[in-house]
Every structure is written in C-alpha cells, then in structure tokens.
Chain A
Amino acid sequence: MSEYVISFLLVVLVSVFTVYPLFLGYRRGERGIGDKPEVSRLEELYEKRDLYYSSIKDIELDRDMGKLSEQDYAELMSRYKEKAAAVTKLISELQSVAGDEKITGETRTSPFDAPLS
C-alpha cells in the first residue's frame, strides 16, 4: 500500500514540477530565450575578448621564451589586438543599446560554475 502511495506522490510531484511553468507568467525582465538578446550577446563578447587576451598572453610568453621571431610576434600581436579592440568596441555599443536597466552578472567559465572568491 505504502509503495502505491509513494508512487502516486512521485507522479503528482514530478508532473506538477514539469508543467507548472506553463501556467506562470514570466516576470518582466526575466531572462529567457529571445528576451534581452543583448545581454546574452554581451556575455558572449566578454568571453571572446577574454579569449583574445589569453591569446595575447600566450603570444607574449612565446616571444619571451624565444619561440617567436620579433616579426611574427609583431604580426600576431597586431592581429589579436585588432580583434580585441573590435570586440571591445562592440561591447560598448551593446552596452548603450542594453538601455537603462543595470544588470550585474558574473561570468564564470568553470565546468561547475564555481563562485568567484
């Protein structure tokens, strides 16, 4: 008997949890697909910029370690700095498009989204 009760409760609990979002209105400003695409785009651009900075760091380290000639170093640095600058410009433009609403977020890249200390 108790097993049937447990099973019944399981069915009810899981079903309610699964379908309840269909009956709730989403709060104004809550993030979701198609909502405030500028914010998702901004986070993407920040990650892209961080990747370019990381590449610049690698290039500097390679030059300091003697793996890159000065000419190649100059060429690569110029390329990645250009890309980083372009992305930074896009970030500024998008920030102005994002409007008055101030959204503060942390971008995490760990597999487990470890909180920043």
Chain B
Amino acid sequence: MSDTGSIAILLSFFITIYSLVVCAFSAKTGSRAFARSGGNGIVSVAFLLLVAVCCLVYELVTLDFSLRYVALNTSTDLPVIYRVTALWAGQAGSLLLWSFVLSLYAAFVVLRSREKGGDPYVNAVLCAVSLFFLFLIAYVEDPFEKLGVSVGEGRGLNPILQNGYMAIHPVTLYIGYVGITVPFAFGIGALLSGRLGDEWIRNCRKYALFSWMFLSAGLLLGARWAYLELGWGGYWAWDPVENAAFMPWLAGTAFLHSVMIQERKAMLKKWNMILLVITFFLSIFGTFITRSGIVSSVHSFARSDIGPLFVGFMVLILVFSFALLAYRSKDLESEEKFDSPLSRESAFLFNNLLFLAAAFSVFLGTIFPVLSEAFTGKKILVGPPYFNAVGVPIGLVLILLMGVGPLVSWKKASTANLKRNFVFPAVVFVVVFLALLVSGMREPVALLSFALCGFVAGTVFLEYFRGIRVRSGRGENPVSALFNLISRNRRRYGGYIVHLGVVLLVTGITASSLFVTQKEVVLDKGDSFSLGRYDVVFRGVRFISNDAKDGFSAELSIESQGKSVATMYPEKNIYKYEGNREINQETEVALRSTFRDDLYLILSEVDRSGKVNIRALLNPMVNWIWAGGIVIVLGAIVTMWPERRRKKEFSA
C-alpha cells in the first residue's frame, strides 16, 4: 500500500498546483468552469490524502518495517491502538495529518459555498497553504520513504506517548491549529477581491470559533496528558511546544472578541485583519517550533531540514499579507467611532490589547533561547518565572475585563447604570476576598484571582438572572425563560457559559499552582507518612513484567480520617527496547482525584532492600481545570449552534 500512498501524495501535490492556478484564473476572469474545476481539485485532494492516511495506517498496523516511518515509530510489542496513533508520532506522519486536516477543511469550504458559486480567491489561498505542506510530505519528509535495509523489529513508540490522551490530543489540537487557515483564507480572499463587506467577517467568525474550540480542547488534553505521563506533578511547564499552541489561542481569542465589534459597529476592520494574519502566522510558527526542533523540548521528538522552508513560508505570509493590507487600507476605514471609553467596544479593545500583549510575551519567551544562542553563542533559558511574572498580571486584568464587559452596554454606559450593574458582582468580589482572608489565606495573587473569579461568576449570574426575570415578566416560567434566553441569544449567553468555564479553569489553576503540598520520603515496608488529609502506608513493592517492560509497582494504602479510601500503585518501568527513545525509564504516576484535590504519587526509586523513594503531592482543585475545559467547549457549542432561519423567497 505504500506505493499507492506515495502516488496519492504526489498526485495531491500536482492537483493542488492545478487548482491554485485555475482558481486564480477564475478569480481574474469570472469563469465558472475554472472555478468549479478548481473546487473539484480541492475535493479530490481531500480524497487522495484520505487514501494516503489509510495507506500509512495500514502499513503501521501491519508493521511493514520496510518503511522508514514504520520502523522508527512502531515495534512488534506495540498495541494496535498505538500503532494507529503512531500516525502522528513522527515528523512525516504529523505533516501528513496537517495536510489531511487542511484538505478536509478546504473541501468543506468548497462544498458549502458551492450553491453560492464559491469564492475562487478563498479557494486559491487554501490551495497555496496546502501546497506548502504537500511539498514537505512529497519531497522532504516522505512518510512512505523506504528504509532500504531489511529489519525485523522497529524502534518502537516512546512510552510516554502510549497513553489514551495522546491518542486524541494531537488530532484535537490539529483540528484547531489547522482550522485557523480557513478564516485566514477568507480574510486574504476578501483583501484580494476587494469585497470587504460583512460576509468575510461572518464566515471568519464561524470557522475561527470552531477551530478555537478545538484548540482549547487540544491544549487541555495535552495538559492532562502531561499531568498523567510526565510525572512531575504539574500540567503546564511553559514548554516551547505548549507555548506554540497557546500563542495562536491567545491571538484567536482576541480575534473572536474583536470580530463582534466589526459585525455590530463596522469598526476595527484593519485591526481584525491584522489579528487574523497574526493568529495564522502564530499557528504556522507553532508548527515550525514543534516540527523543526529549533527549540529543544520534551515534545520535540524529531529534528529535520524543514526549518528553513518554514522560515521562508512564514516570511512570505507576513510580507504578502501586510502588503495586501497596505494596498486595501483605504477600504478598511471604520464606519463609526468609539462613543465612550465606558462601553463594551472599549472593553473589547482593551481585552484585545491584553491578549496580544500576552501572546507577544509568550512569543518572546519562547524564541529568546534561540535568539540568545544565535547572537551570543549561549543559550539563555526562559522558564516559568518569566512567563508567570508577565502572564499573571495580564491574566488578572483579563479576568476583570471578562466581568466588566458584560456589565456595560454597546455604545456607552451611563454612570448611574454602571453603578447599579456593578453592585452585585462587586459584593461577591468583596465577600470572596474577605472570606478567604478570614480563613487564613494571605497569598495576594490567590486572593485577587479567586475574588475576581467570584466577580465574573457574579456577573454571569446577574446576566442570566436579569434575562430570566425579563422573560418571566412576559409570562414565561423560569425554566422556559432560561431555555429561551439561551436559544434566542446564543452568541451572548453561550459566550457567558464559556466565561464560566474560564472561571472554573482559572480557579483550578490558581489553587493548584499556589497551594501544592509535597513530600519526598524513603519508606520501608509498613512505614507511613501524612500529606494533608491523607495517611499513606507503604505495603510493599512487587516486580512486574510483560512483553514491553520490566518494572516495579509500589502498593500504597491511602486512609483519610481513619478510613481506607484507596490503594494506589505508582510504577517505575524500564522498557525493553532501546532505540530512538531518549528515555527508556518511565514512571507511571498513581493518582487519586476528587474535586477538592488530587493525591499524586510518584515512585522515584526502588533500592535492593525493597525500600522505596516516594514523591507525593497534594494538588488542590486540579479537576476544576478539566471541568472548566468541558464547560468552555459546551459554551462554544451553544454559541455555534445553528439558529432557525425562515425560508426566503427571492422573486420579482
């Protein structure tokens, strides 16, 4: 099947060139035949890349070690599910996945816009971006490259990738990452065609929200994977590859808010274009960071020659986009002005600036080691102290704005109304702040963060309460009023659900970052220690062995208030096969999770006498982070849910 896969990729490359040319031609001449042909080419590429993906999966599952990619990323001991997920374990497979997801998006755009005649400018931009990635997999990182020698065993999949979350995290993230290409294509298409009315921004918003939702989910799934697999007790380390996905998320969030201003007030048109270009650029930059290995990271499992090609592509994106923007600058003048600094528009603009500042600070921190090494020869690492020092203040102000924004109206808010609207959320802020202070909390960032989360929650509650009250005043019962409030104002009230999810997320992050308790102990059989409300007793260690690994598992009984609540088995394993794994030892953490806290146990060492070195952490409220992620996704779905439209008849 490898030859079929290779042919499918090559054919995709040439058909994309064809589609790009005919779309550009049809844009110039208005020819429907060429537009249709270009669109069909785009749909064909999606089919061909599906074939290529299926071929590679087939080769991975059947362990065809004659292929370099299969030999590098699988082994005979690998369970079938991880042979499938090996599709995105390596460079070439990841690039194939990128191309495939993009082809699906492009095909969807073509098919959806077909009844309106399609937009050849948008299609041409999608082809141009696809062409770059297809070139990479056709000529630089071929997933079907033959090994040239016969081998009986593969090098295997890194054990830390053998985890359920790693099965879905990359795909989810890619749907988000790659999806940013579509709004970018609509924006550039609008600049190319000169049709800078409302249509492009409406199309942009829908696709941007869809990809943002998946990017959010992908980031959190990755954090969850890191928490479970990397075994250091945390979920976010400001790793370059984590930052690579976080930056477009920050810029994308700014864009989603800013778009609302353009839709309602025809303002910030230039700004939105710039934001869109920046968001797309950051998604490509993020791919470059991950794929080129330019910044070393626990995530960067491969290094290759694609770095210079990516740099060239990024330069082209920036130069082309900003040149077009400059050319169309006059057509992007705002139709209205800001009426007042005390308005939702102003709050959104301030929110934009902060998100961009955050994205820029993360960008700077991520590339600084590369720049320092390039200019001084010394690699200066930038870690959590920098990112937290910059990110925390920005984050706190953003949470405040998240609460303020819904309280002010479009155009301007009168002082009297502001005072009235702020009372309840302000009271919640003060109550939370004082309650925590009285309980003994003194950490200022935590106090402020929790109190601001209370403020935002108060705002959201007030919006829902008042909205339900208004509808109940019209005769609806509260349940119907709530349902109708959401269903008839999906963007607004779905957005509030997203904000509530962010509140849960931030609460969880604050608690788990600032109030971790940990201990490192050496235990003999029967020894115990206490951590928070838990008493942990070491019952013994046993040797475990299977086809893939040998290792030790420690049995630890967990008690709370004298009652047995769990038995936990942290492991330390040694994988049998060497190879491209930088680590052949891996710890499997044992985790007891509740909404209150997580008991996180790591088996660091086992000595000959059977004593174990256990590192134990009590991480408060980590589950609030994952719960917040679920609420964010639900809120995004509500926002995107189709609204009923009446049938329209166009007639003379």
Contact = CB atoms under 8 A, between A and B. Distances in A.
A17 to B, nearest CB: 5
Given A35-B32, A65-B470, A111-B640, A42 B650 contact: yes
A44 B198 contact: yes
A62 interface: yes
Contacts of B11: 10-11, 14
Interface residues of B, number: 74
Contacts of A62: 409-410
Given A10-B4, A48-B198, A55-B264, A108 B116 contact: no
B248 interface: no
Interface string A8-42: 00110011011111101010001111110001101
Given A14-B44, A55-B264, A111 B417 contact: no
Contact of B34 (A22, A58, A112): A22
Nearest to A60: B470
Of A32, A42, A106, chain B has the most CB atoms within 10 Å of the CB of A32
B198 A72 contact: no
B417 A68 contact: yes
B648 interface: yes
Contacts of A68: 409, 414, 417
B40 A18 contact: yes
Contact of B417 (A33, A67, A113): A67
Nearest to A80: B264
A33 B643 CA distance: 27
Interface stretch (B61-69, B202-210, B285-293, B494-502): B202-210
Given A51-B198, A108-B645, A101 B652 contact: yes
A33 B30 contact: yes
B609 interface: no
A109 B40 contact: no
Interface of B: 1, 3-4, 7-8, 11, 15, 18-19, 26, 30-37, 40-41, 43-44, 47-48, 51, 112, 115-120, 197-199, 202, 206-207, 209-210, 263-264, 407-414, 416-417, 420-421, 463, 466-467, 470, 473, 488-489, 492, 640-645, 647-652
Given A7-B4, A14-B48, A58 B492 contact: yes
Nearest to A64: B470
B33 A110 contact: no
A90 interface: no
A18 B18 contact: yes
Given A32-B36, A33-B35, A61-B467, 9 more contacts: A18-B41, A32-B32, A55-B410, A57-B489, A66-B417, A75-B411, A76-B411, A103-B650, A106-B647
Given A3-B4, A43-B116, A95 B650 contact: yes
Q: List 5 tightest A-B contacts by C-beta distance, closest first.
A: A110-B642, A32-B32, A34-B30, A21-B36, A65-B466
Contact of B649 (A6, A30, A104): A104
A59 interface: yes
- Majority secondary structure, B binding face: helix
B23 to A, nearest CB: 11
8 contacts: A10-B48, A11-B11, A14-B44, A14-B48, A43-B648, A66-B420, A67-B413, A99-B652
B293 to A, nearest CB: 33
A27 B564 CA distance: 77
B40 A17 contact: yes
Contact of A105 (B19, B408, B648): B648
Q: Which of A33, A101, A105, A106 has the most CB of B within 10 A?
A: A33
B38 to A, nearest CB: 9
B129 to A, nearest CB: 19
Contacts of B641: 110
Given A32-B117, A67-B407, A7 B7 contact: yes
Contact of A18 (B15, B645, B652): B15
A22 B37 contact: yes
B387 to A, nearest CB: 33
A60 to B, nearest CB: 9
Interface centre among B43, B409, B413, B463 (most CB of A within 10 A): B409
B266 to A, nearest CB: 10
Contacts of B411: 72, 75-76
Contacts of A43: 116, 648
Given A10-B48, A72-B412, A102 B643 contact: no
A40 B114 CA distance: 12
A67 B421 contact: yes
Contacts of B650: 39, 42, 95, 98, 102-105
B116 A116 contact: no
B116 to A, nearest CB: 6
B509 to A, nearest CB: 29
A10 B207 contact: no
A35 B117 contact: yes
A69 B642 contact: no
Contacts of A4: 3
Contact of A102 (B1, B199, B409, B649): B649
B199 A44 contact: yes
B645 A104 contact: no
B471 to A, nearest CB: 9
A33 B117 contact: yes
A66 B3 contact: no
Nearest to B193: A33
Nearest to A48: B198
A64 B509 CA distance: 36
A10 B33 contact: no
A96 B209 CA distance: 37
Nearest to B266: A83
A33 B120 contact: yes
Contact of A116 (B34, B119, B488, B645): B645
B33 to A, nearest CB: 5
Contacts of B4: 3, 6-7, 10
B645 A7 contact: no
Nearest to B44: A14
Contact of B643 (A14, A48, A104, A109): A109
Given A31-B115, A32-B36, A111-B207, A103 B642 contact: no
Given A76-B411, A104-B649, A110 B643 contact: yes
B197 A44 contact: yes
A35 B466 CA distance: 48
A51 B15 CA distance: 39
Nearest to A7: B7
Nearest to B197: A44
A11 B467 contact: no
Contacts of B32: 26, 30, 32-35
Nearest to B465: A65
B44 A18 contact: yes
A104 B44 CA distance: 30
